[in-house]
Chains A and B, each alone.
With several copies, the nearest count.
Chain A
Amino acid sequence: MNQPSDKLMSLKDAIERFVADRAHISIGGFTINRNPMAAVYEIIRQKKRNLHLYAHSNGQAVDELVGGGCVSRLEIAYAGSGRFAPTCIRFRKAVEQGRLQVEDYSNYQMTLRFMAGAMGVPFLPCRSGLATDIANTWGFPASLRQSDPKLPDHKLVVTENPFGTWCDTTKVVLVPAIVPDVTILHVQEADSHGLVRIEGLTFADIEQAKAARRLIVTCEKLVETGRLKQRPDANQLPPFCVDAVVHVPWGAYPTACYRHYDYDPVFLNRYKQEAAGDESYRQYLEDWIFSHKDHKAMMDSIDKDRLASITADGRTGYASGLERR
C-alpha cells in the first residue's frame, strides 16, 4: 500500500521491485481472459525462480509461468485454457514429472481465501468440499506448512457449526486466508494514482488485489483521474490499494481483454503444439519471450492483420465472427 501519489512505472521496474525470487504471488484473470500476460512474460524474462503461485481458475498465465521455470509451488483450483487446453500443458508435465508441488482447492474455496485476505480475517467458512479429497488429502507436506511462516498450519479445517443447526448447516469447511506478497492484475483502465476500472466480469480480481501486500496493475488504457471519477460506480479499486501502475496496451494478449480484444485462437492453437514437446517449448520461450526486450516488441512482431482480426467490436466487446477453430 502506497500513498496516492504518482505510481506510474515501467513493467521492468515494477517486476524488479515487487517480485522477488520465492515471492508468493497471485495473478488475476480467468483461463483465457484478462490474464496479466505482459507481466508474466516479464517475470519469465527476468528469470524469477521458486515463486509460490496462487490462482483460482487460470490457464495461459499459469502454464507459461510454470513452463518458464519460475514456479515451484502452486495453490490452485483449475489449470486449463478452455477448449485450447482442457488441462494446462506445461503444468501437467511439471506435475507428472514431480517438478511442481500443488495444493488443490475448489474455485469457491480459492475465492474465499482471497476474500478472507482482503477482509483481514484468518479464514472464511463454506460448505464446499465436505467428504472430498480436497478436504482430506493435502498436497503440501505438513512439515512444509509448519516450517514456512508464509503458510497456514492447515490446508483447511472442517468443524461443527458453532450455532447448532442454524441455516440447516451442521458442518463447515474453514479455508485459510491468502495474503500474497504481490498480486498482479491486467485491467481495462487506470489512472496514474492507481484508480482502477475493470469492465465485464471481475472474476476474483478485486479480492486478489485487496488481499495482497503489494499490487501491480497493468492497464490497457491510462486515463485521466478526472474521467474515471465521473463514473465512480464503474470503478473497483481506489488508489490506496495500488503500488504500481503500468501502461501496457495488449497487456493480456494472447488472452482476451473485454471491449479491447479477443483471445487469439491462432496463438493459442500454436502454443498447444509448441508446449507439447520440451524442445519445441524451449524454442517457443526463446522466440517469443527472450528474444523480445519487452511487450511492445513482442506485439510489434505479430502480424497487424491478425491483431486487427481479434480487435473487439464496439457492439459486443469481443471479435464477432472470429474464426476460432
Chain B
Amino acid sequence: MPDYTLKEMMAIAAAREIKDGDIVFCGTGISMLAAMAAKHISAPDSTIFFETGAIDSLLEEVPLAVADPRVMYYTAVNGSLADAFAFMQNRRTGAHVVGIMGAAQIDPYGNLNSTVIGDYHHPRVRFSGSGGACDVASFVDRTIIFMQQQKRKFVPRLDYLTSPGWLGGDDSRTAAGLAAGGPAAVITNMAVFRFDDKTRRMYLDAVYPGIDPRQVLDQMGFEVDTDRAQTFQPPTKRELEILRTECDPQRLILG
C-alpha cells in the first residue's frame, strides 16, 4: 500500500465521486484538486467549471482562487457569474452538476454554515460568507462536502444556515422548493459519510484504514449510525501518481 497524506486521501475520495460526463462545480483548494484528479483518472469527459464563469479550464497550473487568471486560460468559454449560476439553476444542465464545497459547520442533515460562529449580529467568529455555496447547494442535485473531523464543526444545530442540505430530513428539502437532490457525501480527514435515502440523516459510510468508527464519533457533536461503516479503499498508486504529478506538482494545495 503506497504512502499518502490525508489531504491526498480526501482529494482521491472526492475524485471517485465524480462520474464521467459530470459538470463539476469547484471551489478553491482541495475541491479543485479533486476535480482535476477525476478528469485525469476516471472522468475524462467531465467538465470543470467555476462560479466565476470559466468552463472547462485546462488548469495547467493550480489556481489559488476561483478568480485566479489560471482558470481563464484555454477554457471552452470565459463567461460571467450570471452564466455560471444559471447553468446550475437551469434544471437540465443543473442535473449534471456535482458541487464540491466546504464549510465551518455541518449538521446531521448536511446543512452548512460558512458565515458566522455565535450570534449573527454579534459573531464570535466571522467567516467569508456564502459566496456561491448557498447557490450551488440550492440548485444542484448532488453535492460533496469536505470537512475537518472536529466536534465543533459537526454540530447538532448550526449557528447560521448558509447552504441548504437536506434541511430537516425526509422530504423537507423539496417541500421548501429546493432542487430534489442534495448532499451525497461528506469527506473528512477520517471518514466518509453519506445520507440515508429516506430520512436523509447522515450515517458513517466508511472509515479510513486504521481509524475506528468510535474515534470518528468522538470528533462529532452528534450521533450517527455506524452500522453501515466499511473501511475505505485507500488511494491506488496510479491515483496518487496522477494527483501528484499531473494535478499539483508544486504541492501548492497538497502541502
Q: Are A and B associated in one complex? A: yes
Chain A residues with CB under 8 Å of chain B are 1, 3-5, 29-34, 56-57, 59, 76-84, 86-88, 91-92, 95-96, 98, 104-109, 111-112, 115, 117-121, 126-134, 136-137, 139, 167-172, 195, 200-204, 206-207, 210, 213, 228-230, 232-233, 235-241, 256, 258, 262-263, 312, 316-318, 320-321, 324-325
Q: Which residues of A contact B252 (CB under 8 A)?
A: 83, 324-325
- B130 touching A233, Cβ below 8 Å: no
Chain B residues with CB under 8 Å of chain A are 20-21, 23, 28-29, 45, 47, 49, 51-56, 58, 60-61, 63-82, 85-87, 89-96, 115, 120-135, 138-139, 160-164, 167, 172-173, 176-179, 250, 252-253
**Cα–Cα, bound, A56→B80 (Å):** 12
- A170 touching B78, Cβ below 8 Å: no
Tell me how far the C-beta of A101 lies from the nearest C-beta in chain B, rounded to whole angstroms. Answer: 9
From B76, B82, B131, A77 is in contact (CB under 8 Å) with B131
**Cα–Cα, bound, A169→B138 (Å):** 13
Q: Which residues of B contact A171 (CB under 8 A)?
A: 176-177
From B54, B86, B134, A118 is in contact (CB under 8 Å) with B86
Tell me how far the C-beta of B68 lies from the nearest C-beta in chain A, rounded to whole angstroms. Answer: 7
Besides A32-B64, A128-B89, 20 more A-B contacts (Cβ < 8 Å) are A3-B45, A30-B66, A32-B68, A33-B69, A78-B128, A81-B65, A86-B127, A95-B123, A107-B130, A109-B135, A111-B82, A129-B138, A133-B120, A133-B161, A137-B160, A201-B52, A203-B80, A238-B47, A240-B47, A318-B73
From A34, A195, A201, B53 is in contact (CB under 8 Å) with A201
**Cα–Cα, bound, A230→B72 (Å):** 11
Chain A residue, CB-CB nearest to B47: A240
- A107 touching B135, Cβ below 8 Å: yes
Q: Which residues of B contact A119 (CB under 8 A)?
A: 86, 89-90
From A5, A80, A92, B45 is in contact (CB under 8 Å) with A5
- A130 touching B178, Cβ below 8 Å: yes
From B91, B126, B163, A87 is in contact (CB under 8 Å) with B126
**Cα–Cα, bound, A315→B160 (Å):** 44
Chain A residue, CB-CB nearest to B89: A120
Q: Which residues of A contact B92 (CB under 8 A)?
A: 1, 213
Tell me how far the C-beta of A262 lies from the nearest C-beta in chain B, rounded to whole angstroms. Answer: 6
- A83 touching B134, Cβ below 8 Å: no
Tell me how far the C-beta of B79 lies from the nearest C-beta in chain A, rounded to whole angstroms. Answer: 7
- A83 touching B177, Cβ below 8 Å: no
Q: Which residues of B contact A238 (CB under 8 A)?
A: 47, 49, 55-56, 76-77
Of the A-B pairs whose beta carbons lie under 8 Å apart in the complex, a sample of 18, sorted by A's number, is: A33-B67, A87-B128, A96-B124, A107-B51, A120-B94, A127-B179, A128-B85, A131-B172, A132-B134, A200-B69, A201-B72, A207-B82, A210-B93, A213-B92, A233-B78, A235-B78, A240-B93, A318-B72
**Cα–Cα, bound, A291→B246 (Å):** 45
Tell me how far the C-beta of B56 lies from the nearest C-beta in chain A, rounded to whole angstroms. Answer: 6
Tell me how far the C-beta of A235 lies from the nearest C-beta in chain B, rounded to whole angstroms. Answer: 5
Tell me how far the C-beta of B176 lies from the nearest C-beta in chain A, rounded to whole angstroms. Answer: 4
- A128 touching B135, Cβ below 8 Å: yes
- A204 touching B86, Cβ below 8 Å: no
Given A32-B68, A82-B68, answer yes or no on A232-B76 (Cβ-Cβ < 8 Å): yes
Q: Which residues of A contact B133 (CB under 8 A)?
A: 106
- B132 touching A316, Cβ below 8 Å: no
Tell me how far the C-beta of A174 lies from the nearest C-beta in chain B, rounded to whole angstroms. Answer: 13
- A131 touching B164, Cβ below 8 Å: yes
Q: Which residues of A contact B134 (CB under 8 A)?
A: 106, 109, 128-129, 132, 134
**Cα–Cα, bound, A132→B167 (Å):** 9
Q: Which residues of B contact A126 (CB under 8 A)?
A: 89
Chain A residue, CB-CB nearest to B46: A4
From B65, B69, B80, B85, A258 is in contact (CB under 8 Å) with B69
- A210 touching B78, Cβ below 8 Å: no
Q: Which residues of A contact B54 (CB under 8 A)?
A: 201
Q: Which residues of B contact A92 (CB under 8 A)?
A: 125-127
From B28, B49, B78, A232 is in contact (CB under 8 Å) with B78
- B65 touching A31, Cβ below 8 Å: yes
Given A133-B120, A171-B177, answer yes or no on A88-B128 (Cβ-Cβ < 8 Å): yes
From B77, B94, B253, A237 is in contact (CB under 8 Å) with B77
- A232 touching B64, Cβ below 8 Å: no
